[in-house]
Chains A and B, each alone.
Chain A
């Protein structure tokens, strides 16, 4: 990432029209062609890993869920799976099935959100509005199950909070039918629209070898032919009973990333239908001790953006010794910085959005509330009381 000071540098961000989340990029250009790139993250770093050390195992479940507003469930799932492994607790199969169902609904909403963002960056705002309108269907389903559209909070340490009734199952089936039909339409647009293909084909191409060398993961890697998916490689929940097919593409370009994510949406729809039709019977929760036995554990899940890894260390107390979160977005940055070179500056927004970056993922408070009276530092208790009063 060394800067060549003789080149013309275009700084983008941290506040800029191309992305709605803060990051600073510097592109060195020769005319229209990018010759170098660097990234500066951390604008929304909230100190969550540090915060976790001061909270109980249960409080942390809610904290981890707030790392990301898009894939909140998968963060909570990775955390609970790790804590349950440390505690030696076996969760009822019905709870695992509901966790998996929620995770795949979340993947659909995340991929459709990405489809809209990526289309918008390329100037295809009609596709953006269509996909976000249709995404409301899966958001509504998540709300019907949990009462929330974003932080569904389905997980508990030892199980789940919500059951899937036969009425809910019927509604989910109906919603999936609609989403499947719409995604067929998106696939048609993506693969036949001449201008869309012109903006995506052979742009940001990454070979299989390069994807592996740069450490790409998730759909970004799979679009370059890297058949790596934690749901298949190291099945968790009940992915061994309801396995998914790994969706790959060989083109390695932006176009391939669209095709892989839409195909993954179809696969999520298929797996949710299977779970609904063969939902295991049984309890929703089991008991987890308040103090977790000392030890260290690695918990890996496949988030919508790729492998999400939690390293959790317990000292045997009510609070964790360390929670380390390695999110998928962090892995894919190096691919962007490498692929940018040689492309036109105008391709940068789509290239950036092509990896489906999530800044909440990267930047995990030290917050200063600004007001008329100048800066104030609020204690956790004061913030909590403020929240209670605000929503009273």
Chain B
């Protein structure tokens, strides 16, 4: 456990200049909220320090609260979490993107393993990954409708078979 704490401390020191907020949700985890503009620099800083490896990119849809009378509905957002692991230590870079600005730069130029995760994020949650040099679908069917992102909370399935889909 001592090495895990030391490892998290080292990551915290590296990421502090970019941090909007820092917390420790679990003893082995460090979570650093950053601005999208700082993403590349923060990832570069971790990689330059040879701190661990990118283990996953997670997208979380957080729709705006339902409309209450007299108030306008808050805009929903997508949280993008970059999980880096080193031994037992897990560092999360958290970026919050409002629906209207759901775009982030690709980190695949710094850590190539990000490419498949970013591709999945774009396809399943509709986050535009600027600079990602792949087109087409990774997981969804070729005839999947444009602009439908299955992991958004607003997607609750198709009531009717999609016109033109295979078998329809």
- Give residues in A with beta carbon < 8 Å to B: 1-2, 40-42, 45, 47, 49-50, 53, 85, 212-215, 233-235, 295-298, 300, 307, 309, 311, 313, 321-322, 324, 326, 330-331, 333-334, 363, 366, 368, 370, 375, 377
Q: Which of B120-139 contact A (CB under 8 A)?
A: 124, 133-134, 136-139
List the interface of chain B (C-beta within 8 A of A): 25-26, 28-29, 53-56, 58-61, 81, 83, 85, 87-88, 90, 92, 111-113, 115-117, 124, 133-134, 136-141, 150-151, 153, 155, 157-158, 160-161, 165-168
Q: How far is the CB of B88 from the nearest CB of chain A, in Å?
A: 3
19 new A-B contacts, CB < 8 A, other than A212-B53, A326-B56, are: A40-B137, A40-B138, A42-B140, A45-B139, A85-B26, A214-B112, A215-B53, A233-B87, A297-B26, A300-B55, A307-B85, A321-B60, A324-B59, A331-B113, A334-B112, A334-B113, A368-B167, A375-B161, A377-B158
A52 to chain B, nearest CB (A): 11
Considering the complex of A and B, which 4 residue pairs feature the smallest CB-CB distances, nearest first? Answer: A215-B113, A234-B88, A42-B139, A326-B56
Contact A309 B167 (CB under 8 A): no
Using known A-B contacts A309-B83, A363-B139, determine if residue A324 contacts B56 with beta carbons closer than 8 Å.
yes
Complex Cα distance, B153 from A329, in Å, reads: 27
- Report the bound CA distance from A85 to B90 in whole Å: 15
Cβ of A214 and Cβ of B113 under 8 Å apart? yes
| A316 CA to B11 CA, complexed, in Å | 30
Contact across chains for B55 and A309 when beta carbons are under 8 A apart: yes
B83 and A50 within 8 A (CB): no
CA of A334 to CA of B117, assembled, Å:
12
14 A/B residue pairs, CB under 8 Å, sorted by A = A2-B133, A41-B138, A47-B150, A212-B53, A296-B25, A297-B26, A298-B83, A324-B56, A326-B55, A330-B117, A368-B165, A375-B161, A377-B158, A377-B160
